[in-house]
Structure 1
Amino acid sequence: MIIFNKIMIILGIIVCLAYFGHTANILVLLPLPFYSHTVNFMPVFKALAARGHNVTMYSPFPMKTPVTNLTEVTVPLLLQSTLSNRLNEAMSKDTFFRRLTVLWTMGLNGVERSLKVDKIKQLINDKDAKFDLIMLETWFFQEAFLAFGYRFNAPVINLSPTFLFPSAASFTGNYLPVTYVPNLRYGFTDLMSFSERLTNSFHYAWESFIGYYFYLKYQDALMRKYFIYPGSENLPDLSDLLRNTSLTLVDSHVAVNYPVPLHKNIVYFGGANIVTGDKLPQDLQIIMDSAKEGIIYFSFGSYINISTLQPFMRKAIFSALGCMKQKILMKIEDSKLLNGYQLQNIEARTWFPQSSVLAHENCKLFITHGGLHGLMEAIYHAVPMVGIPLVADQKHNTKFIEKLGIGIVIDKEDLSETKLSNAINTVLKDQSYVERIKERSAIFKDQPIDILDNAVYWIEYVIRYKGAPHLRPAILDQYWYQRLMIDVIAFYLLVIFLIGYIIIKIFRKLYKFIRYICCSKASKNRSKKSKNE
């Protein structure tokens, strides 16, 4: 027995040494004020820490509970007021060019202010710091941070909080077919009309062209201005750094997006943040359990304040919900906004455990602005929706809801008490909405491997294979005319032209020859005829 125990101890030590011998030092840099992004990435970081990796995270949002192997470096919360102002500006001037300009300006401002933060400046100049992997939110207008990968000679994994923007897709070698992959900034489906395909292709081209020749130049300038250390004079062009990132983790899923052709350097991890099995707070549990007519949950996410909506929109929402026989759970930053309305059926709070609320069997409807994470949670828990898109990718997301038949969408400019009431009643009474979203929920949950485990696997894969350069598509090394096959098309056109030219020449020669023969015969016949006369 003693010998057996000793053997087991030795085996345990060997296993532990094997486990911790493959641990890596991972730097996570998320200094901008996108709380929902950070929260949804956190399960990945925690899972890496749980597997023994040393994760160092720079973020303005400290965790409530410390996590073993996860070291937090808290940086100042920058751009919070700017973010609200930009969102309000984008909502009031909701055009493609305005939205894109707002995001580019915000990104450049946020990157520069982040690089001025003392803790980040210290990181840049830290000669002793060594990392095996860098994780960045590169594609959300933070491209200059890619210099950290070069600084520490470590592979970079991008974290994308939405499906890929056109520029992000092109720099990973995933050139999206514009004929059926709609731009996130528009409310198009994958079945676009001729005019929609014209618009889609134009804006794909415009964003990629202007993004490359204008916006990225400013990001490159910021990178060279603030990354000053011995050897920084050899920093490659930012466009080269972008083309050489190892992997992109995309917060999306086949159940919440259209089918898209992607290379192996793109990995979906949408749904990794969805909490299942957590108990509701006791008071909220009682409210939801006792709701005989069911629950309607209302939330416009963590960025949109109800106070920033136009007065007619607030009136339509409050009036319509106040007339419902269902219990309403409303996420709202200030319950005083409800004063003056008959709202005895509304439970208003600044925060709800959203996933747990949607998971409750009495939750019958979700009224949403169309945020991606709310959409994923609603589909996962099979709760039909009424969408009121406001800004950013929300039109795209709600159009997806409408196409699948799992909810109804109301344009914000057309919002009224009557329209909202009709939409709510239609979704609640028509069982087809429930049936379709249950089917989509089953698709979401049908996975050969757990979503979070899959994300961790690919992160460790990149570490094991030193950046996994074999995943990098060769298309990234081609010139634009090679990618578009302009040279091949030009060659074929030239061959066709030459063949056509030769054929025409031959026919002309034949024509002349035949004409000569015919003329010769005619001439001989005339001469014979004249002699006979």
Structure 2
Amino acid sequence: MPASRAYRSLRFVSEQLLIMHTTRVTGNVVFVLLITSLVEAYNILVLTPITSPSHTAVFKSLVTELVERGHFVTYWNGLQSDKLSTTDVNSTMNNPRLRLLTSPRLAQINSQHEIGYNDRDSPFRLLFRIPGTVSKYCKIVYEDPVFHQLMNSEEHYDLIIVDGFANDCTLYLAEVLDVPFIYLNCFPPSPWILYAIGSPLATEQFPNPSGIRDRMNFWQRAFNTVTSVFAVYFHRRVVLPLIEDVAIKTLGINNLTSIAEIENRYLSLLLINTHFSINYQLPTSPAVIEVGGMHLNRRHQRLSEDLLSFLDDSGDAGFIVVSFGSMLRGDDVPDHFCQIFLSTFARLSQRVIWKWEDKRKLEHQQQPIPSNVKTMPWLPQQELLAVYHSVPAIFLPISSDQPINAQKAEDDGYAIRINWDDLTEEDLYNAIQRILNISRYKEKVKEMSALMRDQVVNPMDQAIYWIEYVVRHQGAPHLRGASRDLLLPQRALVDVFLFLLVISLFMAYVTFRVCHFCIRTLFRKRVVTDVRKKVN
């Protein structure tokens, strides 16, 4: 066992030994605990330098659980440290088994990911922005002191957990530290991550972010297939080589291993924060594990007194939460949409809590901010709403996975989807009234909540089990599907179908030639026979 890990394990043992002495347990039991601690306390590196508050909520819950279960965690998070300190994890953040690494420059770029409301116009706009965006992110990551600290570390890690969103540039750490890694995706997996793990793209039923729904006609399936395959090759042939060029220029290291090769060699598992009850079904390999809702059943953050007072005053009318996610700033909403929201909210008897970063923009609108509206730069959404807590919704999706999630929710009957370009005050007001007054929305979301909660294993326990499983089995190479060694056309059996097509065409051609020869032979024989008859 490496010295660093032994030291960490023994430090953990000393804490447990103190507990045992205070409870007067026999020496034999203490010895068993010593052995157990040495075996089960793993040293885990969690990498989320590129992140968002919503992603951090998921990772923070996982890190907290890992630490509480006795593991040692080094956690590099790209948000400001004060964003990590909430009621349910304050004690964990001060735990000696957790080392928190933060980066001020990364915190600055993570506060604004340059995703705006104009991105609703085209599902491909964000895709084509990825190379420039990732190039900028990676340059900042490679220049950050924390990255160099980890690159030069002699500490032994048992496992790395990486946020699957825009953190490809950190994968060089897996090779340098020679340790397997797990992707944790906070939304449905992209086609290129499914390809990397060797799982089917399932384009006949699983819509990529530019898709519509799972039941598709021929043209929709064709579009979904073409765009999914294009996304895989775009990421492999454009994005990853660009990251490698940035690494060479920034780090000054030539002959770097390609990120695709690092993924193929070190990627062990994909955890996805989805569940088949509320997301489109995806047939996967054993190396893909759904852990949807794993962050929803932890201790909740206590609401501020100011917010509690505002909510209590809502009375029987209740309250409405308005948020467009953590990567979209509310104050980026065009003025005419602001007017629609303000005018609509002024007509409501309910209180409205609105995620809005810059209140000054609202104050300059023609419609004043109604007295029943409270704006906040960040909302504790788990404490206020979620499918998990049986709350119906109205969706105005922008980009990424939002459109297909909104479509799925509307198809399942617990939400109303409105397109931004069709948004009017009357449409929004009527949608709110339908959600509030038509019982089937509330009944349906209760059904969905029951489905999501009805799991054999708690999602967090599931995530922890598989994380420990990968460590116990040295990267779990037996989970690797043979398809990971095949190209995408081979995985889709395109080569087989082409071969069968060629064989079929060849056999058809041979059959045609044989039939043609036979017909010609028979025809000639008949002609000869007829001529002989005439001669005779």
Q: TM-score, normalised by structure 2?
A: 0.85
Matched to 2:295, the amino acid is: N
Alpha-carbon contact 2:161-2:184 (below 8 Å) kept: yes
Cα 1:472/1:226, change in 2 over 3 Å: farther
Which of structures 1 and 2 has the bigger CA Rg? 1
1:86–1:102 CA contact under 8 A, matched in 2: no
Give the direction of change, closer, same or farther, for the CA distance of 1:282–1:142 in structure 2 (3 Å limit).
closer
Q: How much has 1:6 moved relative to structure 2?
A: 7.5
- 2:29 pairs with one of 1, 6, 11: 11
Which among 424, 428, 432 is matched to residue 420 of structure 1? 428
- What is the CA-CA distance between 1:26 and the residue it aligns to? 1.1
With over 3 angstroms needed to count, the CA separation of the structure-2 counterparts of 1:325 and 1:52, relative to structure 1, is same
Give matches, 1:282-431, under 5 Å. Answer: 284-285=307-308, 287-289=310-312, 291-339=315-363, 340-341=367-368, 343-358=370-385, 378-431=386-439
Q: Which residue of 2 aligns with 1:243?
A: 264
Following the alignment from structure 2 to structure 1, what is the Cα–Cα distance between the partners of residues 352 and 327? 21
Q: Which residue does the alignment assign to 1:365?
A: none
Partner SS state of residue 174, structure 1: coil
Q: Partners in 2 of 1:9 and 1:77 — Cα distance?
A: 50
SS at match of 1:256: coil
Q: State the match for 2:8 in structure 1.
A: none
Per-residue deviation, 1:507: 2.7
Structure 1: unaligned runs, 5 residues or longer: 359-377, 529-533
1:159–1:206 distance in 2 versus 1, CA, 3 Å? same
Matched with 1:371 is none
Q: 1:272 aligns with which of 294, 306, 330?
A: 294
Measured in 2, the distance between the counterparts of 1:434 and 1:24 equals 44
1:490 aligns with 2:512: no
1:84 aligned onto 2:112: yes
Match of 2:13 in 1: none
Say which of 463, 471, 481 aligns to 2:471.
463
CA distance in 2, matches of 1:52, 1:264: 27
Deviation per CA, 1:140-173: give whole Å up to 9, x if none.
Answer: 2221211111101100111222211121121111
Alignment of 1:117 onto 2:138: no
How far apart, CA to CA, are the structure 2 residues paired with 1:286 and 1:437? 27
Write the letter of the residue equivalent to 2:108: Q
Aligned to 2:68: 50
For residues 289-318 of structure 1, the C-alpha deviation after alignment (integer angstroms, 9 at most, x for no partner) is 552122222223333332211111111111
The CA deviation string for residues 163-220 of structure 1, in whole angstroms up to 9 with x for no partner, is: 1112112111123122322121x36111234443343333223222222222211112
Deviates further, 204-213 or 430-439: 204-213
Distance 1:276 1:237, change over 3 A: closer
Q: By how many angstroms is 1:453 displaced?
A: 0.6
Note closer, same or farther for the CA distance 1:194–1:504 as it changes in structure 2 (3 Å cut). Answer: closer
Report the counterpart of residue 191 of structure 1 in structure 2.
Answer: 215
Q: Tell me the secondary structure at the aligned position of residue 55 of structure 1.
A: strand
- 1:30 aligned to 2:48? yes
Q: Deviations over 1:195-249 (max 9, x none)?
A: 4334333322322222222221111223344566xxx767432211122311111
Give the CA deviation at 1:287: 4.7
* Aligned partners of 2:198 and 2:481 also within 8 Å: yes
What's the counterpart of residue 72 of structure 1?
A: 100
SS of the equivalent of 1:333 reads coil
Cα separation, 2, equivalents of 1:24 and 1:82: 29
RMSD: 2.7
Structure 1 equivalent of residue 18 of structure 2:
none
Paired residue type of 1:419? D
Q: Per-residue CA shift, 1:453-507, capped at 9, x if unaligned?
A: 1001101111011111111111111244432334322332343234334433443
Query: How many angstroms apart in 1 are the aligned matches of 2:25 and 2:70?
Result: 24
Shift of 1:334: 4.0
Residue 343 (structure 1) shift: 1.7
Kindly tell me: are residues 336 and 224 of structure 1, through their superposed partners in 2, closer, same or farther at Cα, counting changes over 3 Å?
A: closer
Partner of 2:159: 133
Question: Given that residues 119 and 126 in structure 2 are in contact (C-alpha distance below 8 angstroms), is that contact kept between their aligned partners in structure 1?
Answer: no
- Relative distance call for 1:82 and 1:285 in structure 2 (3 A) is closer
Provide the residue aligned with 1:153 in structure 2.
178
Contact kept in structure 2, 1:145 and 1:223, CA below 8 Å: no
Counterparts of 1:475-486 in structure 2 under 5 Å? Answer: 475-486=483-494
Deviations 1:317-355, CA, capped at 9 Å, x for gaps = 111111111222233334455545262223333344322
Contact 2:48/2:167, CA 8 A, preserved across alignment: no
Distance in 2 between residues matched to 1:91 and 1:80, nearest whole Å: 22
Partner of 2:12: none
Q: One-letter code of the match for 2:112? A: S
> Does structure 2 conserve the Cα–Cα contact (< 8 Å) formed by 1:275 and 1:356?
no
Shift of 1:262: 0.9
- Give, in whole Å, the separation in 1 of the partners of 2:28 and 2:426: 72
The one-letter amino acid paired with 1:160 is N
Task: Verify the 8 A CA contact 1:387 1:409 in the aligned structure 2.
Answer: yes
Query: Partner of 1:106: helix, strand, or coil?
Result: helix
Distance in structure 1 (CA, Å) of the matches to 2:423 and 2:498? 52
* CA distance in structure 2 between the partners assigned to 1:227 and 1:460 by the alignment: 33
CA contact (8 A) 1:385 1:407 kept: yes
Q: Does 1:222 align with 2:246?
A: yes
Alignment pair present for 1:201 and 2:228: no
Distance change >3 Å, CA 434–CA 512, structure 1 → 2: same
> 60-69 or 308-317: which moved more?
60-69
* Deviation of 1:52 (Å): 1.8
Q: Is the 8 A contact 1:133 1:463 kept in 2?
A: yes
Deviation at 1:429, TM superposition (A): 1.3
TM-score under structure 1 length normalisation = 0.86
1:202, 1:502 → 2: CA distance? 34
Contact in 1 for aligned 2:395/2:415 (Cα 8 Å): yes
The change in CA–CA distance for 1:236 and 1:353 in structure 2 (over 3 A counts) is closer
CA distance in structure 1 between the aligned counterparts of 2:146 and 2:307, rounded to whole angstroms: 41
Task: Assess if the C-alpha contact under 8 Å between 2:181 and 2:268 holds in 1.
Answer: yes
Q: Are 1:180 and 1:190, in contact at CA under 8 Å, matched by a contact in 2?
A: yes
SS at match of 1:248: strand
Instruction: Report the secondary structure of 1:86's partner residue.
Output: coil
